[in-house]
Amino acid sequence: MNEISAWIDRFGKSDYQATVDTDVQGPDPNRFFLISFAYHASQGDYKNKTLIDLGNAADSTLQFAKRKSLYGQLQRLALQDLPVLPLYRAPILSLERSAVNGYVVNGKGFSYFDRVTLAS
């Protein structure tokens, strides 16, 4: 186990045989693509132009249906190549009740309670 600065240095140099990234990725697949595929492709560790092109195309559009289709294709291709092996994905939890107001979960799955009020 390395301290975070040592891990980041080794990760950036691809100086490992295997590594674990425990960052919360959030519901948008973009961050996972950028860290797990595009970064390693730019370092020459993973070579699959089709997968990288799909990820870049998905990252460059705001059209939900198009992003969904592109990331679906990317996911199928990544499952064939298996350049990374996700071991676990923590669920993003939320609250739902009519008496709860102002509760927010951000894109990374973190809850914010500073504006929460309860109706009586």
pLDDT above 90 (res 52): no
pTM above 0.75, yes or no: no
pLDDT of residue 73: 94
pLDDT above 60 (res 1): no
Q: How far is CA 69 from CA 44, 57, 108, in A?
A: 26, 11, 22
pLDDT in tens, 20-47: 766 656 677 887 787 777 877 777 777 8
Burial class, 78, CB count within 10 angstroms (exposed 0-12 / middle 13-18 / buried 19+) = buried
Do 37 and 52 form a contact (C-beta atoms < 8 A)? yes
pLDDT of residue 24: 59
Instruction: List the chain domain ranges.
Output: 4-81, 90-120
pLDDT in tens, 58-115: 999 999 999 999 999 998 988 888 777 767 666 667 768 889 999 888 766 778 889 9
Q: Does residue 106 sit in helix, strand or coil?
A: coil
